[in-house]
Amino acid sequence: IPIRQGQLVYVYAMLKGRGNLFWAGSVQDSYYGEQEARIGHFPSSVVEETHALTPASTEVKTTKWDFYCN
């Protein structure tokens, strides 16, 4: 997949063994606007690995009490 400097790349798989030079993932940012994300393989050497995901919790309020979770 074509990657431009500054784009955020989502990595789905880091290949191992002889294929470790390539990773699988997708890329989409404001450059593509309304277009769908591009999915494919790219050289691992063209990206910098950072961990952008953070743990989060979500509370969903309800008025139904037919079960209880600890």
Residue 35 pLDDT level (bands cut at 50, 70, 90): low
36: tokens are 């769908």
Residue 36: domain span: 9-46
Whether 33 is covered by a domain: the verdict is: yes
- 10 CB neighbour count, 10 Å cutoff: 13
Cα separations in angstroms, 25 against 9, 13, 65, 66, 68: 7, 7, 41, 41, 39
pTM, full prediction: 0.56
Whether 52 is covered by a domain: the verdict is: no
Domains identified in the chain, total number:
1
pLDDT, tens only, 38-48: 888 889 888 88
Whether 15 is covered by a domain: the verdict is: yes
* Half-sphere exposure at residue 54, Cβ-oriented, CA atoms within 13 angstroms: 2
Across all residues in the chain, what is the average pLDDT? 78
